[in-house]
Amino acid sequence: MTNIQINFLWTEFESPVFNASGPACTTMEELEKLWKSEACAIMMKSATYEPREWNPEPRYVDLEMGSINSMWLPNLGYKKYIEFSEILKQKYNKPVFTSVSGMCMGDFPKMVKEFQENSQVDFIEVNLSCPNVIWKPQIAYDFEATENILCLVENLWDKPIWLKLPPYFDPIHTNQVAEIIAKHPKIKFLTCINSVGNTLFINPEKEEVVIKPKWGFGWLGWTYIKPIALANVRAFYKILWNKVKIIWVGWIYSWRYVFEFLLAWASLVQLWTSFVQQWAEVFERINNELINYLKERWYKNAEDSIWKLKEL
Ligand code: RRO
């Protein structure tokens, strides 16, 4: 028997694959579909303090090797996700994640405290890779703000904290963030990386951009950014291997992507584009493919592959 279970602290995940805090995890109906799927956990939509609407369409477009989107973090506001988490925990037996995205510094501690006191979510992801104050960088690109937020939230949550990060393109930046993370032992997990923001696709026949919001600028995902994601996962592993575990958020299409990220040290992976394209069935397909591939390679457990990347 090939086993694809992953053990993290007190939790046994049935497989390494679940959904990213992106599409189709916003309403209770969508979250129930995730429960019925073979996703190993249920990630709820990243919540802001107040509800947010969608950007105008077209705001998501499939591309040859991925997708571009500019949704504008639509969600029902954190109070709804506290309510949903209660229903999910009462009815279903799967780990439940919440994700919080502050639109200002003060939103983070307020939401973390509310989830701590009023919900039974198993895990919290503090999303430092979200649009926040207009004309300011994503929080995780502002190292002072990152440090301040970590100081504000770390004592408000009594379990380990997961941080969602954007891609870093310069090793100096990775080192600087890793130094901050190392100072906060509550951070045990990194969700790494968010889509690559600020990208532009053009349709040359129509001579126009492909999505409507923000002059066509949007977040790029999937195969286009896999090498960036692999490098970020691996770089954080090199610096923080004895302090954090890494979850890759991504655009997995097949067993191959999962396996590459396990080799690079990701312990769990989250789906985005393939989830939008194929919905909940995608989890079953990828889990089955992964089992078959591991069998071919004589791995008894998916976890055994996490240590295996060779360097030349
Ligand atoms: O909602 C979005 O436009 C969006 C966000 Br905030 C994000 O962090 N990543 C993404 O792919 N889309």
Question: What is the pLDDT, as a whole number, of residue 16?
Answer: 93
Beta carbons within 8 Å of 205's beta carbon, 6+ residues apart: none
Looking at ligand 1, which atom is closest to the CA of residue 272?
A: 11
222 close to 253: Cβ distance less than 8 angstroms: yes
Which phi-psi region, left, alpha or beta, contains residue 64 (left: φ > 0; alpha: ψ -120 to 50)?
alpha
Using alpha carbons, list the distances in angstroms from residue 114 to 44, 76, 80, 83, 121: 16, 15, 12, 11, 11
Cβ-based burial of 198 (10 A; exposed 0-12, middle 13-18, buried ≥19): exposed
98 close to 47: Cβ distance less than 8 angstroms: yes
Amino acid at 263: L
Look-up of token digits 């992801």? 125
221 close to 246: Cβ distance less than 8 angstroms: no
Three-state DSSP state, 292: helix
Give 59 Cα–ligand 1 centroid separation in angstroms. Answer: 11
Give 196 Cα–ligand 1 centroid separation in angstroms. Answer: 9
Going by DSSP bridges, is the β-strand pair 161-165/187-192 parallel, antiparallel, or unpaired? Answer: parallel
Give 295 Cα–ligand 1 centroid separation in angstroms. Answer: 36
Cβ neighbours, 10 Å, residue 11 = 12
Give 62 Cα–ligand 1 centroid separation in angstroms. Answer: 15
Domain residue ranges in the chain: 6-52+74-195+222-305
Question: What is the pLDDT, as a whole number, of residue 310?
Answer: 95
20 close to 309: Cβ distance less than 8 angstroms: no
Going by DSSP bridges, is the β-strand pair 266-271/208-209 parallel, antiparallel, or unpaired? Answer: unpaired
The tokens for 1 are 């028997």
Residues with catalytic roles: 130
Beta carbons within 8 Å of 31's beta carbon, 6+ residues apart: 25, 42, 44, 84, 88
CATH number of 6-52+74-195+222-305: 3.20.20.70
166 close to 138: Cβ distance less than 8 angstroms: yes
Per-10-residue mean pLDDT of the chain, 312 residues long, equals 84 92 91 92 96 96 92 96 96 93 94 97 94 78 95 96 97 98 95 95 98 96 92 95 87 85 91 77 91 92 88 96
The tokens for 243 are 């302090």
Helix (H) or strand (E) holding 79: helix 78-91
Question: What is the pLDDT, as a whole number, of residue 255?
Answer: 87
Buried-exposed string 23-53: b where 16+ CB fall within 10 A, e elsewhere = bbbbeeebbbbbbebbbbbbbbbbbbbeebe
Residue from 255, 247, 260, 265 nearest 307 by CA: 265
What is the signed CA dihedral for 151, 240, 263, 291, rounded to 10 degrees? -40
Question: What is the pLDDT, as a whole number, of residue 1?
Answer: 76
Question: What is the pLDDT, as a whole number, of residue 135?
Answer: 66
Distance (Å, whole) CA 30 – CA 74: 14
Paired residues of 217 in beta bridges: 200
Distance (Å, whole) CA 16 – CA 262: 9
Question: What is the pLDDT, as a whole number, of residue 211?
Answer: 98
Q: Could you please report the per-residue DSSP string of 186-213?
A: TEEEEEE---EEEEE-EETTTTEES--G
Amino acid at 88: L
**Site to substitute for ligand 1 among 219, 249, 274, most atoms within 8 A of C-beta:** 219
Question: What is the pLDDT, as a whole number, of residue 2?
Answer: 83
The tokens for 223 are 């195969």
Looking at ligand 1, which atom is closest to the CA of residue 218?
A: 3
Looking at ligand 1, which atom is closest to the CA of residue 74?
A: 1
Ligand 1: which residues within 6 Å by Cβ?
A: 22, 69-73, 129-131, 194-195, 219
